[in-house]
Amino acid sequence: MDSIFAPKSSSTSTLSSPAFISRFLEASSSRKFSSLTFVGSRPIRYSSYSTTFSMVSNDVSKPKIITGDFGYVLEDVPHFTDYIPGLATCSNPLQDNPAYSVVKQYFVHVDDSVPQKIVAHKDSPRGIHFRRAGPRQKVYFDADEVHACIVTCGGLCPGLNTVIREIVYSLYHMYGVSRVLGIEGGYRGFYARNTTALTPKVVNDIHKRGGTILGTSRGGHDTSKIVDSIQDRGINQVYIIGGDGTQKGASVIFEEIRRRGLKVVVAGIPKTIDNDIPVIDKSFGFDTAVEEAQRAINAAHVEAESVENGIGLVKLMGRYSGMLQFSS
């Protein structure tokens, strides 16, 4: 995924690492959220690889697949240049930042990808790859034109406020963005709730609190109203933090944005304590969930050992992955 910011005329300070945005963009390109894909009606050429977009009759997206030599397959993520070609680019402001400009090969090449399977036989096909996350040398937004928003949806997860804080810090101090809006109360907050202006001062110590300062909810996904709100407010970068259902909703929002031809970025940030996202090492909140599970397991163990024929039974969530149970 290409970087989406452009420099502001004045220099910016650096109080946050760009690795955070790189990490969640990497997560959003994993197979679990491969439904976040762009579809169209024409075959195109991408570098030395070919890809075909397709649309089925019920308007459900098929994955954006790029194939190459020796069995190379890239499960790509969508990008607004797929439906708005010829957009002008600018230099990434990080190249003028003294904290990062001294690092050689800091920017990620546009053709870099990460293999799904690290270990492979020498004669086997190269297999499935995912788009490598990280800052690019060229970006598509000038900082002065960016109006970003952040929304949290679904159940609570440890670290939500930290994620919100780091997005705001990265936008302000690394890319020079000064307009960041917090959408309160989940998806329905786009059209039925108040909004909060997010600045570094507002989010300074929110990482010390639990929950989410923006509030959250389940449901309330009215695609037309949400995109109307995005368009009316002049928002052009949408950061959506949530789990499976939330990311499916983000995919629908992107499809409506694509249909309207809007220059709007939708970035899905996976929120799960199950750690069932391929490619990345850990999803945020997983370590805390393991620690809390260990407390319950230890308590049950003490109870079971203290009585004759005692049995301790602890039920943990985790969908189909078992990562939480295995690590606890």
The SS3 call for residue 66 is strand
d(CA 67, CA 50): 6
- Residue 328 · residue 315 · CB < 8 Å: no
Strand partners, 242: 270
Q: How many CB atoms lie within 10 A of CB 166?
A: 22
d(CA 295, CA 310): 18
- Residue 78 · residue 66 · CB < 8 Å: no
The structure tokens listed for 208 are 């010390």
d(CA 101, CA 31): 32
Residues 6+ apart with CB under 8 A from 110: 2, 47, 136
Angle between helices 223-233 and 244-260 (to 10 degrees): 60
d(CA 110, CA 73): 16
Does residue 228 carry a catalytic annotation?
A: no
The SS3 call for residue 44 is strand
Query: Of all helices (H) and strands (E), which one includes residue 19?
Result: helix 19-28
Considering 274, 276, 281, 287, which one is annotated as catalytic?
Answer: 274
DSSP-assigned states of every residue in 84-153: STT---EE-GGGG-TTTTTSTT-SPPTT-EEES-S---TTS--EEEEEPPS--SEES--GGG--EEEEE-
Positions marked catalytic: 274
